[in-house]
Every structure is written in structure tokens, then in C-alpha cells.
Structure 1
Amino acid sequence: MRVLGISAYYHDAAACLVVDGDIVAAAQEERFTRKKHDAGFPQHAIDYCLAHAGLKPQDIDQVVFYDKPFLKFERLLETYLAFAPRGFRSFATSLPVWLKDKLFQKSVITRALEGQFPDSGVDWSTRLMFSEHHLSHAASAFFPSPFEEAAVLTMDGVGEWTTTSLAIGRGNDLSVHKEIHFPHSLGLLYSAITYYTGFKVNSGEYKVMGLAPYGEPRYAQTMLDHLIDVKEDGSFWLDMQYFNYCTGLTMTNERFDALFGGPPRKPESTLTQREMDLAASVQAVTEEVVIRLARGIRKSTGLNNLCLAGGVALNCVANGKLLRANVFDRIWVQPAAGDAGGAVGAALAATHLALKQPRTVRAGDGMHGSYLGPSYAQDDIELRLKAAGAVFDTLSQDDMIDCTARALAEGKAVGWHQGRMEFGPRALGGRSIIADPRSPSVQKQLNLKVKYRESFRPFAPSVLREDVSEWFDIDTDSPYMLMVADVAKAKQKPMTAEQQALFGIDKLNVPRSDIPAVTHVDYSARIQTVHADTNPLYHRLISRFKALTGCPVLVNTSFNVRGEPIVSTPEDAFRCLMGSEIDLLVVGNCVLEKSRQDPALKLDYKNAYELD
């Protein structure tokens, strides 16, 4: 049974191909169009999935969309009626878009497939199905998980009506048991603070999470007293007097401004202690809600395993706190937990729930390390780089690994483009920028000179799985960079009284461990455990770096500059090399030194995305 899952028309469009219950290919549309968070119909991602599997369009048995547009429109209409006439401006802004595209999405998707495959002879309307948004999230979490039985918690902004759900999965069955509905949403609370602190909603939430350790949660009780009422079992209710997303075009209103002492921060303006404290506060509230939800779920279900999905599940700090709370024996988080992962869940929900196909529980998990995107043969890489005007040396694989490890040990920033592209928001050693974590200046240099982004943003460590407990306070798998834990005490550096007295961004320049480039200001790190069986080449590179330096850890950040998606093709990687201050690019067995490239090919990414 061949099922194609699609997410589109909101943000982070994607496609996923599931064949006989196995996830064969998945990719986000943005990686092909180079338009960040591309919401359009995922034509290129679909083409890739079919090409990878060697299938023709007519070989697809079902196409499944990840949510139900009519239910979303029902929510829009009922919200307007509930808040009328205050909601008219928002309703009037949304209605033309719904009437033009979103309300009649079956016809829109059918026409898009007919346009993409005009000679297929398929009546796509007979092969098109729709899943519910949170069921797609839940299916993406449970069916690829390593559990035969688990509770499934999904949390995001909003789907059709649902913002939070509890499902129970057993074998190839999955059923939703409880829901919290719009407008009461943990994801929208976090997005409200994202908006208020001057970042972009639906993409800047992880900046708030990264900013939180620079502040103190001095507003947490204010939020609990006025914004959100949290019950013992984690269920919650928001006071809509402080929010504007039901009736207006912003997230917050004047009453919210008065509660927190002024208007929202203007984007790109200087960050103040208020923004840092707000970030710390909403992070603390989020962690409290997530842990209470988990405890309530454990008590009501008695299950030992928990799966997570939805945008809130990308909050790796909360995930780490939940892991350490020992509420569940084991936790598994879908690496593409946001809307892109809805394509995976839609395909799996149709496969197992609608089509009743059997499910195989795989050792590790069924996401194949999330390496589900395109890869490039060595001959193809060389042809593409030559056509782009690149100057490179082609080495044996052993020499390429040794050359890269030595460059890292010398303090160079390396673009690493190998194997299949990752699916989801994290670079996991397929499309990564990597560096030496022992350098106290690497974090700031990578942020300002390579990524062209805010200096406070932390970087993640890739660590050999067999060495993780020696370097970090965790002894479990974290292959998808979705768990935060402290650097091991033996690797930490104590701070002086003067250093401890620092506030805000001034904390950034204090080395806190033997691997300062991946140690956040609260001694934490967002960990990726690297396994020899899922990414053998990356594992070999880190092992060679360890042999040279004694350190089994690398800095790992996504291979892109600010304002662009993660690179996909070798040409994308070369452009990123020429538009940043990366020292070395390694694509397959090709090694490119920045100093040897034609200066005429240099790109000015820094200025192009300065105000993004």
C-alpha cells in the first residue's frame, strides 16, 4: 500500500511517502523552492518522494491531507460569532482567503495534482482523504515510535478546534481520548510572548526558548494569576481579556501591555532585561503545564511510555525537564513535530487507521534517523560543483574524514553536506555547519559571521552515543536534538562571584565548561546523540575528531544563513560557502577551501538578511 501524505497552505508545507507502513521519503517544500517556511502546495517535495521510490503518480493508492479545512472554517465562523462585533476585522481579513483557496481545498488539491501529473489518467478526487490536524500529529508521534503501546500528547497553536490532545496508541490502533479546544492554547500563549518580545510568530518561538536562560522568571506568577489558569492535571484555560488573536490582527492587546509595563518590543530593536525575563517566565509556565499534563496522563492511563508531537513538542528544554521528572519510563518525540510532520502523520493515520494495514515496531524508531530527504552520488556532486564554478579536491573517504577532522581541530568552521537530507527543523549531521566546541569564541563567531543572527542563540552538541554520559547529565538516546540536559559536573567550570553577578547578554562571554561553544548560560545543552548505525559517516568524523583532540563532541548547527532554509543541493551548499565566513565545505568526498574560490562568486548574505 503506497500512501502520500501532504501538509500545506498554512506554513511548512511537506510531503511524505509511506509504503507498506514504512516511511520511505519525506521533505519540506522550502528546501526546494528556497522560500523559508513555504506554505504552498508541495509539488517539488512530492516529485522527490516519487522519484526516490521509483514510483509513477498512478502507483499512489491514497493521497492524504493533514487536516480538515471545513472544521477550521467552522472555528473561524464560530469565533467571529462568539466575539462579534469585535472580531469583524479579523474575520473580514480571513474570509476572502478562505473563499478563494482554503474552504474548497479538496478541489484545490485535486487541481494541483492534476496540474502536476496531467498525463497520469488518475481521478485524484477518488484517491484523496483528509485527516484531522491533531490526529495527524498523534499518528506521527505514535506509529514511528519504538513502542507497542503508549500515551500520546500533542500540543500546538491550534488545528481545527483542538490545541492539546491525549491519545492512546496500541499496535496499529490510535484513538483520541481528551482534548482542549481553541482559544485555550499553550502554543498560542507562547506565540503571544514571541510576538510581544519582538519576534516573528510561528518561527521565532525557538528564539524565545534560547533567550530564556538570560532572564529570571519574574513574570511567571503574573502569567499564572492573569493569563492562564492551570489545573492539577495540566488542563488549562486562558483569560481572553488579554489576547487579541480571536478578534484582531495581533496576538496581544492594550490590557496585556498594561500588565507587563509597556507596548511590544519592536522587531530588531535592542533586547532588554524585560524581554529576557518574559522569555524565562513563559518558558517556566510552559514547563509547569507540560509536566502537569504528563502526570495527569500517567495517572489516568497507567501507561509507561509517552509520545510527543505538535509545535510545543519542539520545546527541547521542556522535554528535558519532563525526562528528568521521571513521570514516564520512556519518552519519544517526533523530530518533525510541527506542521511539516503532519504529512508523516496523515500518511500513517491513513495506512493504519483507515486502511487497517499492520504496523511493525522497529528497534530505535521508524523515522530512520530522520534522514528521509534527497542524497547525491559522488559523480553528480562533482558535476554540480564544477557547473557552479567551485574549486575542489576529491579525496578518498578516509582522507576526507581525516582532512575535515584536522580542519575542525584547527578551529575552522566547516559546512558538512553528506547523505540524505534531514526531515524536520534540525540539522543532524546531513546538512550541518560544524565546529570545535572547545573554543570559547565559536558560539559568537558562528552566530555573527556565519549565521548572521542574534549573538545569544545557543548551538547544539553532536556527541558520540557511547560517550554521552561522560560529557552530559543524560544517559538516554537523544538522536533528534530534542532533549536538553546539563553539561556533566566534571566538565563544568565554576564561575567567580563577579561572573555570577552578570546580567542578560553579558553572561554570554563567560566560558562555563570544557566545551563552551555548546554550553548555554545555565550550563545546559541541546543534545544530539550520534549513532554508528543511523549516521555512520558522521559517527566516523566525530570519532576521528576525538582521536585527535580527546573530545567526542562537535558543534552542530543547521547549514544555512539567516533568512534561508537549510541547504538541500550541493549548489545550495556552495552558495552558502560563498555567502558566509565558513572556512571549508565538504560535499561527499569533495573538499572546498574558501580561500581557493573565485572572489567574483562571493555573495552578500549578511546585508540581504539583516532585517529578516
Structure 2
Amino acid sequence: MIVLGISCYYHDGSAAIIRDGEIVAAAQEERFDREKYSPAFPIQAINFCLQQAGVTIYDVDEVAFYEKMYLKFERTIISHLIGWPFTFRNFLDTMPLWLKDRLAVSFAVEDELSFKKPVRYIKHHLSHAASAFLVSPFEEAAIMTVDGVGEYACATWGSGHGTRIDIRQEMHYPHSLGLLYSIFTAFLGFRVFTGEGKVMALAEFGEPDYLDKFRQIIDLRPDGSFRLDTRYFSFNKGETMHNKRFEELFGPPRPPGPDFTDRHYAIAASLQRMTEEIVLTMARHVHEQTGLNKLCLAGGVSLNVTANSRIREEGPFDDLFIQPAAGDAGAALGAASYVYHALSGRPRGPVMHSAALGPEYKDRAIEVLLRNSGARYRRLERDELLAETARRIADNQVVGWFQGRSEFGPRALGNRSILANPANPDMKDHLNRVVKHREPFRPFGASVLRERVGDYFEFDGDSPFMLLVARIRPDKLGSIPAVTHVNHTSRIQTVTPEHNGIYYDLIAEYYRQTGMPMVLNTSFNKKEPIVNTPDEALACFNDSGMDCLVMNQFLVERNDR
């Protein structure tokens, strides 16, 4: 059986394909159309998935869509009616999108793909739940999904057993942690979708002095559910989702730009602390109600690495599995998984140990590109390539690293990465200023050998998708400044030979040369989606401050040096 999963029309349009229980491919449309968080119908991602599976659309048994659009439309209409006439302008802006695309998914699938069978529509948060549980290593587990909003639900919890998922409680719009985080992201002068991670980084520079004000607008219950005081918000009523009463409480919004005050830091810190308090309270309640010791997480809020880590460290669960594409991209995989396993009753397939589900490119195609572009390059044998790359990182060169299949989800995990020396105290500022061209307060993560993670971090476990942070051991503070955030933590990826292949071997070689069992790892991009193809990698390399580029077996030097 072959099932194609699709998500689109809001953000993170994606496709995933499951064949005979195995996740054959999954990719975001942004990697192909080069629009960050592209909401488009993911025709290019779909074509890639079909090609990777070696099938045509006529071989596909089921197409699964990640939410029930008519139910979502019902909620949209009701919320506009409740706020009428103040929602009139927003109504006029959104209705064309509904009539053109969102209510016509089945027609789009038929027109774009020539797929004639009925589309299977899976509830939004059920797709999230399936994306985490059905690909996890757990036979049974508690499940939490938290994001902006699906049809009505903004957060759910339940349990999974075998191929069955039971959603036991939902929290409905507008009482949404994801929306709250986005409202404050915009209030603090960042763009929604691209700015939430910046707010999370900014939070560590302040103290949560505004927590009492947050408690004025959020009524948190003992089970982790909460209600927003809607008098402070203007849902569907204007250009912003906060109002004058909100500004009387928190002050004026920060205009976009480089300047921050203590108030901005404190608001970010309070928001982050409130987020952690909510999800931790929810996790404790879920454990109490289910009696299960494993937890699966999905939904956009599950990309909040600090909140995830507090659940891991302070929560009652023995183990976590977090879907690497926890946002709406992963819901395409969840919808496909739910149809394949839960609805069709087929046994679960291999565990999702790796997010390397995108395209890969052969040496011949890369060499043709390099030759035709006039690049300076050498082809090296594997051991020589690893030794040379490790040496360059140790010499404080910034290395573009392009290997194997691209990653599914927002994290670069050693296939489309920029690598650097974590021990260099100047490297963080150099990367932010010269290579990535981004805000100076933003930290970088570390990829560390799994067997050596305890040497530097107060952490013992797996973090294969860089969705957890770890506190740096007191005796190691100062030794890895390029990956140390202001609160003495680092976002970490644990790397193993079984699941990371040549990337593990590179870090192992770096450890052999330097005694340092990790490298700094950041995504291979510059204000654009992560590079997908060799052409994009070469263009990004030439337009940045990277010192060299490694693509498969080829080491590329800069032409301007």
C-alpha cells in the first residue's frame, strides 16, 4: 500500500509518502520554490516523493490531507460573526483564499495530480499526534500536541497504543499557546513564523519580571489548560492581534530594528517562562491521567527546545520522542501515517531515527556543476576528505557541508549544514555577522558524539533532532564559547554511526585531531530556506563568508582567495 500525505495553504506546505510501512520520502515545498515557510500546494515536493518512491500517482492508493478544511472554515465563519462588524476587513481579506484554495483541496488534488479517488481528511491535531507516535520507538505512549490552531483545537492530549490513537482532551481557539507566542513575537518586532525562535533566544537575556502581567491575561488551570482574557486581544479585527488594553499592560510594541531595552528582554523572558509553565503543567496532568511513562510531542510549540527540555528534566516521563518536523510540515507525514496504520490497520514500520528524507545528488551531477561553474575543487578519497575537513574546522575555517539526503523539518542535522569550531570565542559573532547575516544575540547549536555527550554537558540520553538544550558542565564552561548561550546551555544534536554515517565519522575525526567531540552546526542558508540542491549550495557558498565547501567527495575552495 502507498499513501501520500499533504499539508499546505497556511505555512510549511509539505508532502510525505509511505510505502509498505516505510517512510520513503518527505520534503517541504519551500526547499523547491525557495519561499520560506511556503504555503503553496506542494506540487514539487509531491513530485519528488513520487520519484523517490519510484512510482506514479496512479500507483498511490490513498491521498491524506492534514486537516478538515470545512470544519476549519466553520470555525472561521463563527469567529468572524462573533466579532462582526469589526472583523469585516479581515473577512474580505481571507474569504478569497478560502474560496480559491482552502475549500477546494479535492479539486486541487485531482487537477494537479490527476488523482481521482476521494481524499482522506484527517483532523489537524490528529495528524500531529500520528506524526509523533506512529513513527516513534514506543509501543504505547502519552501524546501531547500544541500549536497555533487547527480546525478548533489549539492543543490536545491523549494516548497511543499500537496503531490506535485516542485523543482525550482538546483546548479550543482562541485559547492558544502557539497564537500567544506569535502575538508576542509580532509585538516584539519580529515576523511571525520566522521570529519565534528569535524570541526564545532573546528570553535568556532578561528576567521574567512581567509574569504577574501574563497571569492577568492567562488563567492557567491545574490540568495545563488555560483561558486567555480576550479583552486584551483583537482576533480577526485588525492588522494586529493585540489591542490598546494589551499595550496599556505591556507598553508600546517594539519597532523592527536592532535596538532592545530591558523591557523587551523581560517580556520575552516572561513569555518563555509562561510557556514552559503551561506545557510542564500539561505534561504532569497527562502523565497522571494516562499512567504512561513515555511521551510523544508534536505541533509547532514542540520546536521550543527550552520547554521540551524542562519536560524532559522536570516532568514525570522516562523518555520523549519529538517529531523533528514538529510544525505543520510534519502533519503531512502524520496524515499519511494515520491513514496507513490507524485507518487501514497495517502494522507500524521502522522507527524514524533520521530526518534525512529529502533529495540527494550523485557525484557525477556535482562534478558537472563544479566544472561548468569554474569552481576550484578537488575530489578526495573518504578518509582524506574527513581528515582535511576536520583540520580546516580546527583551523577556524567555516565549512559548508553538503552530504546525502536533505533533512525534513527546520533543523540542519549534518546533511545541509555549516560547520565551525565550537572552541573559538570569536566564531559566534563571525558567523552571525559575516556568514549568516542575522541578529548577534542568536546562539548556535552543537553536534556531539553520543558516547561523549556527558563529557561536556549535564545530559545523558539522545537528542537526534536538536530539539533539546543541555546545560554545560561547570568544569567545561568557557571551553566551547561558540555554542554556549548566555544561560550556559547549548542546543545539542547527539550523533551516532548508525544514523548519521559520514557526519559521525567527521566529528569522530575532529575529536581524534583536537580532543573536542563536537562541532558547531548551523543550517546551510542565508536568509532563505536551507539549501536543497548543489546549485543552491554553491551559490550560498559564493555569496557568504564560508571558507570552503564540501559536497559529497568534493572539496571546493573560494575563487576570491
User: Where on the TM-score scale, by shorter chain, does this alignment land: which range?
Assistant: over 0.9
Corresponding position of 2:520? 555
Is 1:404 aligned with 2:369?
Answer: no
Corresponding position of 1:500? none
Corresponding position of 2:92? 92
Deviation of the 1:356 alpha carbon: 1.5
Is 1:241 aligned with 2:231?
Answer: yes
Letter in 1 for 2:510: F
SS in 1 for 2:499: coil
Q: Give me the whole-angstrom Cα distance separating, in 1, the residues matched to 2:140 and 2:472.
A: 32
Corresponding position of 2:532? 568
| Farther-moved stretch of structure 1 (581-590 vs 351-360) | 351-360
Q: Give me the whole-angstrom Cα distance separating, in 2, the residues matched to 1:407 and 1:370.
A: 27
| Farther-moved stretch of structure 1 (409-418 vs 325-334) | 325-334
Letter in 2 for 1:159: G
Q: Give me the whole-angstrom Cα distance separating, in 2, the residues matched to 1:29 and 1:332.
A: 25
Q: Give me the whole-angstrom Cα distance separating, in 1, the residues matched to 2:374 and 2:52.
A: 28
* Pick aligned residue for 1:592 from 545, 556, 561: 556
Q: Give me the whole-angstrom Cα distance separating, in 1, the residues matched to 2:487 and 2:258.
A: 25
Give deviations 1:1-45, integer Å, cap 9, x for gaps. 100001111111111011122111111111111111111111111
* Pick aligned residue for 2:352 from 335, 351, 367: 367
Deviation of the 1:561 alpha carbon: 0.4
Q: Give me the whole-angstrom Cα distance separating, in 1, the residues matched to 2:365 and 2:29.
A: 22
Is 1:29 aligned with 2:19?
Answer: no
Letter in 2 for 1:305: K
Letter in 1 for 2:63: V
Corresponding position of 2:164? 173
| Farther-moved stretch of structure 1 (93-102 vs 419-428) | 93-102
* Pick aligned residue for 1:472 from 457, 474, 479: 457
Moved over 3 A (4+): none
RMSD: 1.2
Is 1:348 aligned with 2:313?
Answer: no
The TM-score with structure 1 as length reference comes to 0.90
Deviation of the 1:598 alpha carbon: 6.0
The TM-score with structure 2 as length reference comes to 0.98
Is 1:61 aligned with 2:61?
Answer: yes
SS in 2 for 1:534: helix
Corresponding position of 1:229? 219
Q: Which consecutive residues of structure 1, in runs of 5 or more, have no partner in the other structure? A: 115-123, 493-512, 600-612
Deviation of the 1:269 alpha carbon: 4.7
Corresponding position of 2:296? 307
Q: Give me the whole-angstrom Cα distance separating, in 2, the residues matched to 1:479 and 1:101.
A: 36
Is 1:379 aligned with 2:369?
Answer: no
Deviation of the 1:245 alpha carbon: 2.5
Deviation of the 1:60 alpha carbon: 0.8
Q: Tell me if the contact between 2:375 and 2:557 (Cα under 8 Å) persists in the aligned partners.
A: no
Corresponding position of 1:502? none
Deviation of the 1:127 alpha carbon: 4.3
Deviation of the 1:109 alpha carbon: 2.7
Q: Tell me if the contact between 1:41 and 1:112 (Cα under 8 Å) persists in the aligned partners.
A: no
* Pick aligned residue for 1:581 from 536, 540, 545: 545
Corresponding position of 1:320? 309
Deviation of the 1:388 alpha carbon: 3.0
* Pick aligned residue for 2:433 from 442, 448, 453: 448
How many positions carry a matched residue from both structures?
Answer: 561
Give deviations 1:471-514, integer Å, cap 9, x for gaps. 1111010000001110112201xxxxxxxxxxxxxxxxxxxx20
Corresponding position of 2:242? 252
Letter in 2 for 1:346: A
Is 1:20 aligned with 2:53?
Answer: no
Structure 1 segment 53-132 matched on structure 2, within 5 A: 53-114=53-114, 124-132=115-123
Q: Tell me if the contact between 2:284 and 2:315 (Cα under 8 Å) persists in the aligned partners.
A: no
| Farther-moved stretch of structure 1 (237-246 vs 304-313) | 237-246
Q: Give me the whole-angstrom Cα distance separating, in 1, the residues matched to 2:108 and 2:51.
A: 23
Give deviations 1:188-240, integer Å, cap 9, x for gaps. 1111110100011122101100111111111112101x211101111100011
User: Structure 1 vs Structure 2: percent identity of aligned residues?
Assistant: 49
Structure 1 segment 124-143 matched on structure 2, within 5 A: 124-143=115-134
Deviation of the 1:246 alpha carbon: 3.5
SS in 1 for 2:432: helix
Corresponding position of 1:294? 283
Q: Give me the whole-angstrom Cα distance separating, in 2, the residues matched to 1:386 and 1:33.
A: 25
Q: Give me the whole-angstrom Cα distance separating, in 2, the residues matched to 1:18 and 1:430.
A: 22
Q: Give me the whole-angstrom Cα distance separating, in 1, the residues matched to 2:439 and 2:177.
A: 25
Q: Give me the whole-angstrom Cα distance separating, in 1, the residues matched to 2:523 and 2:291.
A: 38
Deviation of the 1:61 alpha carbon: 0.7
Q: Give me the whole-angstrom Cα distance separating, in 2, the residues matched to 1:74 and 1:333.
A: 31
Q: Give me the whole-angstrom Cα distance separating, in 2, the residues matched to 1:241 and 1:195.
A: 18
Q: Tell me if the contact between 2:158 and 2:286 (Cα under 8 Å) persists in the aligned partners.
A: no
